[in-house]
């Protein structure tokens, strides 16, 4: 009897095989109009959805076929002869012929299960639908393993039963054709079982690959995406806090005193020292302060910014690890799920773009926070410069008012004090203002800040300095006649004093040749001896002992002629 001539009688099953593949809904459920109950009928389809932000377009094919879990359940629920009962029944049969017939029946049942299993396995191919395969989950793998173990045990018992039949003492009662039929059935079953086992292994591999894809999509790529979203939110919150702090900053806030020498030394540092060490992927400072400003410190900004860049480093490492991880997965998944592999690469590229955007936003935020510090520094320095310029302007105005009021003749002492105050402020304040203006201009040139407020400050302070210098030049022109007159009077006074000293010295020594008689000296009255001469612009000087009488005489002569002493 040949293999083709063998006819196996398929056992009858109460369960419709088609219902195992596509279960039908009961008629009473179809009549239900409750929306909630109707929605539960699509639970298999809804299980394919992946929550945002990891959602992907669902396969239309997934909704048109029964789930892998339900089909595997139909495969595992098919009835098979129990291995223990098969072995016990065959060993208990009294004759070899009855045992041979029992093996015929068992072979027919096993062959029928093999044929149906092969038909089902053809429908269990993933067909590049990774979600359909992944929906089965770990339970499907467990069911598949149980089915393989169960059927292998049955096959082993069946083969051992045939060997036991051949070892029976009454095996000679069987015709050779009957024994050959039993052996041919066994070979056919073993071949078909190999096909079924390979099909089950293929389904198992598909489910494992699909579950690995799901892990990559949800956990690996998903966690990277969530961290990117979290860091983007952190950057947004820091920017909002920066804007709110700038808008709500009180104008009455006491300004910080800026050390111009320290500020100037930091501005004049070589630019190489202020360059930050950058990563190949993103810019990040490795100094004590990420804002690189030693003048004004904000620990809260430092902490937030350092936390941001500290979290970005492992995120960058995860992104760098993804290509190798996906490459290993694609070597196994490309033949089974090529579309899923492309989706993973697309997702990775989107994450790279999000990373580039995040790194640019973080670097821009770092520059803005650093610029805010320079804005505060330059603002305070500008306020100090404006105050110094205002003080010089007041001194110029006071001197001009004194000149217009005629203090040069009526009140030269007051004029002298105002001129002295103006000269002192001019000597100290003007260079300091110019230093501040130079610092601000250098900061703008080096792009430490391009804030509009500092640009306006530079423009206003420069215009004020030009106006102040013009006023100082005008004041110097007004002071020239007064200064010349004062210098002339001073020279005349000094010349008279020297002449008086010589006359007095020659009169005190009798018989000195060329001396004038004592009667030629115009001595002052006794009351005039109490007058103390005034020299210079700001006070009194002690008269010299050798020329006291000449000084008194010079002062008396000035009073007698109606002139004010200097």
Max mean pLDDT range (110-119, 446-455, 492-501, 511-520): 110-119
Q: What value does the CA radius of gyration of the chain take, rounded to a whole number of Å?
A: 54
pLDDT confidence of residue 543:
40
Whether 59 shows a pLDDT value over 50: the answer reads: no
DSSP assignment letter at 270: -
CB 54 within 8 A of CB 222: yes
Reference 79, options 147, 125, 161, 6; nearest CA is 147
pLDDT confidence of residue 345:
93
- Could you report the per-residue pLDDT of 205-239, keeping only the tens digit for each? 888 888 888 899 989 999 999 999 999 999 999 88
Whether 58 shows a pLDDT value over 80: the answer reads: no
Mind spelling out the 3-state secondary structure of 127-147?
A: CCCHHHHHCCHHHHHHHHHHH
**552, HSE (Cβ side, Cα atoms, 13 Å):** 16
Q: Where are the domains of the chain?
A: 17-24+44-228, 256-472, 521-566
Mean pLDDT of the 183-212 span: 86
28-59 as b/e: b if 16+ CB within 10 A: eeeeeeeeeeeeeeeebeeebeeeeebeeebb
Integer Cα distance of 158 and 104 in angstroms = 11
Of 451-465, 501-515, 538-552, the range with the lowest mean pLDDT is: 538-552
pLDDT confidence of residue 327:
92
pLDDT confidence of residue 448:
67
Percent of the chain with pLDDT over 90: 18
Which is more confidently placed, 20 or 14?
14
Burial bucket for residue 242 (CB in 10 Å: 0-12, 13-18, 19+): middle
CB 337 within 8 A of CB 128: yes
Whether 253 shows a pLDDT value over 80: the answer reads: no
Cα dihedral sign, 367-373-379-381: negative
Which residues, listed in sequence order, are joined to residue 278 by a DSSP beta bridge?
283
Mean pLDDT of the 450-471 span: 87
pLDDT confidence of residue 65:
56
Reference 103, options 177, 183, 167; nearest CA is 183
Integer Cα distance of 326 and 352 in angstroms = 14
Structure-token pair, residue 158:
């069946």
pLDDT confidence of residue 359:
94
- Could you report the per-residue pLDDT of 426-460, keeping only the tens digit for each? 999 999 899 888 888 887 877 666 677 888 888 99
Of 209-218, 376-385, 545-554, the range with the lowest mean pLDDT is: 545-554
Which is more confidently placed, 508 or 199?
199
Q: What are phi and psi of 50, to 5 degrees?
A: -115, 130
- Could you report the per-residue pLDDT of 169-182, keeping only the tens digit for each? 888 888 888 888 88
Provide CB contacts within 8 A for 148, sequence distance 6+.
197, 200, 201
Structure-token pair, residue 24:
């039908």
Whether omega before 427 lies within 30 degrees of 0, making that bond cis, reads: no
pLDDT confidence of residue 322:
92
Integer Cα distance of 184 and 2 in angstroms = 8
CB 399 within 8 A of CB 379: no
Integer Cα distance of 441 and 263 in angstroms = 13
CB 319 within 8 A of CB 351: yes
pLDDT confidence of residue 313:
92
Torsion angle defined by CA atoms of residues 9, 10, 14 and 17, in that order, rounded to the nearest 10 degrees: -160
Q: Name the region of 24 (left: φ>0; alpha: ψ -120 to 50; beta: rest).
A: beta
pLDDT confidence of residue 83:
75
DSSP assignment letter at 278: B
Which is more confidently placed, 391 or 253?
391
pLDDT confidence of residue 391:
92
- Could you report the per-residue pLDDT of 128-160, keeping only the tens digit for each? 677 766 666 666 667 777 777 888 888 888 888
Of 313-317, 443-447, 515-519, the range with the lowest mean pLDDT is: 515-519
Mean pLDDT of the 551-556 span: 40
pLDDT confidence of residue 247:
66
pLDDT band of residue 547 (cuts 50, 70, 90) is very low
The per-residue pLDDT of the chain, averaged, comes to 71
pLDDT confidence of residue 549:
38
Which is more confidently placed, 289 or 97?
97
Which is more confidently placed, 503 or 552?
503
pLDDT band of residue 531 (cuts 50, 70, 90) is very low
pLDDT confidence of residue 158:
87
pLDDT confidence of residue 388:
92
pLDDT confidence of residue 255:
56
Max mean pLDDT range (19-33, 168-182, 442-456, 460-474): 460-474
- Could you report the per-residue pLDDT of 349-365, keeping only the tens digit for each? 999 999 999 999 999 88
Integer Cα distance of 68 and 137 in angstroms = 9
pLDDT confidence of residue 171:
82
> Where does 384-479 show beta strands of DSSP type E?
none
364-382 as b/e: b if 16+ CB within 10 A: ebbebbbbbbbbbbbbbbb
Whether 316 shows a pLDDT value over 90: the answer reads: yes
Provide CB contacts within 8 A for 258, sequence distance 6+.
295, 377, 380, 381, 384
CB 277 within 8 A of CB 285: yes
pTM (2 d.p.): 0.54
- Could you report the per-residue pLDDT of 260-309, keeping only the tens digit for each? 666 666 666 644 444 443 444 334 443 334 444 444 455 666 788 888 99
Integer Cα distance of 42 and 63 in angstroms = 9
Mean pLDDT of the 513-535 span: 43
Long-range contacts at 232-238 (CB < 8 A, ≥ 24 apart) = 232/354, 232/357, 232/358, 232/361, 234/304, 234/307, 234/308, 235/308, 235/358, 235/361, 235/362, 235/365, 238/304, 238/305, 238/308, 238/365, 238/369
Mean pLDDT of the 486-503 span: 57
CB 218 within 8 A of CB 54: yes
Max mean pLDDT range (59-68, 105-114, 502-511, 550-559): 105-114
Reference 554, options 480, 478, 487, 503; nearest CA is 503
Of 315-329, 331-345, 385-399, 511-525, the range with the lowest mean pLDDT is: 511-525
pLDDT band of residue 534 (cuts 50, 70, 90) is very low
SS3 532: coil
Rounded to the nearest 10 degrees, what angle do helices 176-215 and 338-404 cross at?
0
Structure-token pair, residue 235:
């950057």
Which is more confidently placed, 278 or 321?
321
First-last CA distance in the chain: 153
């Amino acid at each position: 009897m040949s293999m083709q001539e063998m006819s196996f009688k398929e056992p009858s099953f109460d369960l419709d095989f088609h219902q195992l593949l596509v279960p039908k809904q009961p008629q009473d459920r179809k009549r239900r109009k409750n929306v909630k109950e109707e929605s539960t009928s699509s639970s298999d389809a809804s299980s394919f959805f992946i929550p945002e932000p990891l959602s992907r377009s669902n396969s239309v094919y997934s909704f048109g076929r029964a789930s892998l879990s339900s089909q595997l359940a139909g495969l595992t629920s098919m009835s098979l002869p129990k291995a223990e009962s098969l072995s016990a029944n065959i060993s208990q049969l009294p004759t070899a012929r009855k045992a041979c017939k029992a093996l015929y029946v068992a072979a027919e049942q096993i062959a029928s299960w093999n044929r149906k299993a092969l038909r089902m396995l053809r429908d269990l191919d993933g067909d590049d639908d990774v979600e359909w395969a992944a929906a089965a989950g770990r339970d499907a793998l467990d069911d598949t393993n149980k089915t393989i173990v169960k059927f292998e045990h049955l096959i082993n018992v069946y083969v051992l039963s045939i060997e036991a039949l051949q070892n029976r003492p009454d095996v000679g009662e069987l015709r050779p054709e009957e024994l050959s039929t039993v052996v041919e059935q066994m070979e056919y079953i073993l071949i078909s079982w190999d096909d079924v086992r390979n099909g089950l292994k293929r389904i198992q591999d598909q489910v494992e690959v699909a579950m690995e894809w799901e892990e990559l999509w949800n956990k690996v790529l998903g966690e990277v995406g969530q961290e990117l979203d979290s860091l983007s939110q952190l950057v947004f919150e820091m920017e909002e806090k920066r804007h709110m702090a700038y808008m709500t900053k009180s104008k009455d806030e006491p300004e910080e005193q800026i050390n111009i020498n320290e500020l100037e030394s930091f501005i004049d540092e070589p630019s190489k020292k202020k360059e930050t060490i950058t990563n190949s992927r993103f810019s990040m400072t490795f100094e004590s302060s990420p804002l690189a400003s030693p003048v004004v410190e904000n620990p809260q900004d430092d902490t937030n910014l350092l936390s941001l860049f500290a979290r970005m480093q492992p995120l960058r490492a995860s992104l760098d690890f993804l290509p190798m991880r996906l490459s290993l997965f694609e070597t196994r998944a490309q033949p089974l799920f090529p579309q899923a592999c492309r989706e993973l690469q697309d997702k990775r590229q989107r994450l790279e773009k999000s990373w580039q955007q995040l790194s640019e936003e973080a670097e821009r935020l770092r520059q803005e926070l650093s610029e805010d510090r320079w804005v505060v520094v330059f603002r305070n320095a500008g306020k100090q410069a404006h105050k110094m310029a205002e003080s010089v302007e007041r001194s110029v105005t006071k001197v001009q008012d004194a000149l217009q009021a005629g203090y040069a003749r009526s009140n030269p002492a007051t004029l002298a004090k105002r001129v002295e105050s103006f000269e002192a402020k001019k000597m100290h304040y003007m260079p300091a203002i110019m230093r501040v203006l130079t610092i601000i201009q250098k900061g703008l040139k080096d792009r430490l800040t391009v804030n509009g407020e500092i640009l306006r400050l530079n423009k206003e302070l420069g215009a004020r300095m030009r106006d102040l210098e013009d006023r100082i030049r005008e004041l110097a022109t007004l002071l020239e006649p007064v200064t010349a007159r004062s210098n002339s009077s001073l020279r005349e006074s000094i010349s008279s004093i020297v002449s008086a000293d010589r006359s007095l010295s020659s009169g005190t020594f009798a018989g000195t040749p060329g001396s004038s008689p004592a009667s030629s000296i115009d001595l002052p009255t006794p009351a005039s001896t109490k007058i103390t001469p005034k020299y210079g612009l700001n006070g009194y000087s002690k008269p010299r002992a050798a020329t006291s009488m000449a000084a008194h005489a010079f002062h008396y002569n000035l009073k007698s002629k109606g002139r004010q002493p200097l």
